[in-house]
Amino acid sequence: MKKLVLSPIALVLALAGCGGPHDDALVFAVGGTPSELRVWQEIVAEFEAETGIPVRIRRQPPDSTQQLQTLIVSLGSGQRDPDVFMMDVAWVGLFTASGWCHPIENVETDAFFERVLDLVDRHEGVLMALPVYMDGGLLYYRTDLLEKYGYDGPPQTYDELIEMCLTVQEGERTENPSFFGYVWQGAQYEGLVCNFLEFAGKEGGFLAPSGPEPRPIMLDRPINREALQLMRDLIWEYKISPPSTYTEMREEEARMFFQEGDALFQRNWPYAWSDHQSEGSPVRGKVGVARLPAMEAGQDVSTLGGWHIGISAFSNKQEEAQQFVAYVTSKDTLKKMVLELGWNPGRTDLYDDEDILERAPHFPQLREIFEHAKPRPLVPYYNQLSSIAQQRLSACLANRVSPEEALAIAQEEIETLVRTYGDTERLPEHARAAAE
């Protein structure tokens, strides 16, 4: 086992939030942009005015990796603060398996995405978290260019996408030599794993074993080899994705590339919609969204993303924490987040809200995507699992190894990882190492 090493910034933030005297305020750990934190402060003020319960925001680092590190320091050592915290969907399995979350009580769950609750938020049938912000991969496309070249709508399969890209790319390059058919996240980071899972479709990706005995997660499978081959071919054979895909293409690089008018299709998260429709955007009014294509029609899938709220098992303010979680996940509060931040709420009853649809007419499509989204493996060692996948997938996209070689090596490393983490009694210690 390796020792957890925190960055200097994360260490300072972690120490700043612990070790001091406990006051009477409920402590809520949350990160985000300045505008997001401003809205959180408004929500806290409204909650305090309504309930009389004081709340102190423990501001987390903007970087999600550092957020994970600081939460692991606090929760892994059983500190009473924070009482409530926000966690990435990929952390829920780690936190619940480590015994760090207290069950959420007295919240009516009928209005939430039931499939997400079952796949992510319930641990052994007990509700341990609730979705606040939903996310999932989707396909952005140029409506004007599809019409110009005689296409009725976006592709349902990758064969259709490739054919459209080759046709439009050839035509557009007569005036724009920098034009490409499809931009997506292929750099070596978590976004690469999310994209890979979507290329692999419903039946592909990580195959988690069933049963109580520790067995390796299967990644080296025929359907995954086919998906990885397709990803590489988009860059090297069809040349409809930029050469920079595997070196630097992340969310913002893909968004800006598409927004400048240099691509027909883009894979990204829902946040990009508002940027594309903003004042001065070259593609404003020319963008549509759809479900991602698949290798076979009907086998498409979107990687589930987003942020969930949980209560610390070590909090000495359980009653107040329960009230705060209920308030944050209420219809009125989440509607405020939609209207002020453009967030996609964890409640299904907001996706047909008239006020919201005036600003975001694509919300019904998002609801359909979220209802079929697929989470990443909810295992305590997911961060290390992802690191293995990132490294091997990237090597293949760079044309250094074949898909068969990349996934075979990854499988060997995954099996070693699972043997290391097979002892569930050591989960808290493992959780610390998983943050590296």
- Which residues lie across from 57 on neighbouring strands? 28
How do residues 302-347 score in pLDDT, each as one tens digit? 999 999 999 999 999 999 999 999 999 999 999 999 999 999 999 9
How many Cα atoms are found within 13 Å in the side-chain-facing hemisphere of 214? 15
How do residues 96-144 score in pLDDT, each as one tens digit? 989 999 999 989 999 999 999 999 999 999 999 999 999 999 999 999 9
H or E, element range at 386: helix 382-397
The gap between the terminal CA atoms of the chain, to the nearest Å, is: 11
Q: Is the pLDDT of residue 220 over 90?
A: yes
Mean pLDDT of the 27-40 span: 94
Query: What is the total residue count of the chain?
Result: 436
Position 106 scores a pLDDT of 86
Environment class of 112 (CB within 10 Å of its CB; exposed 0-12, middle 13-18, buried 19+): buried
CA 318, chain centre distance (Å) = 28
Mean pLDDT of the 45-56 span: 98
Q: How many Cβ atoms sit within 10 Å of the Cβ of residue 26? A: 25
How do residues 396-430 score in pLDDT, each as one tens digit? 999 999 999 999 999 999 999 988 876 444 445 54
How do residues 6-16 score in pLDDT, each as one tens digit? 444 444 444 44
Beta strand residue intervals within 269-391, DSSP E: 287-290, 304-312
pLDDT bracket for residue 215 (50, 70, 90): low
3-state secondary structure of 406: helix
H or E, element range at 205: none
How do residues 197-208 score in pLDDT, each as one tens digit? 999 999 999 987
3-state secondary structure of 61: coil
Reduced 3-state DSSP string for 69-93:
HHHHHHHHCCCCCCCEEEEEHHHHH
Domains and CATH numbers, the chain: 8-135+304-371 (3.40.190.10), 138-290 (3.40.190.10)
The amino acid occupying position 84 is: V
How do residues 372-397 score in pLDDT, each as one tens digit? 999 999 888 898 999 999 999 999 99
How many Å is the Cα radius of gyration of the chain?
A: 22
> For the whole prediction, is pTM greater than 0.85?
yes
296: nearest Cα among 235, 230, 241: 230
How do residues 161-197 score in pLDDT, each as one tens digit? 999 999 999 999 999 999 999 999 999 999 999 999 9
Backbone angles phi, psi at 208, to 5 degrees: -80, 135
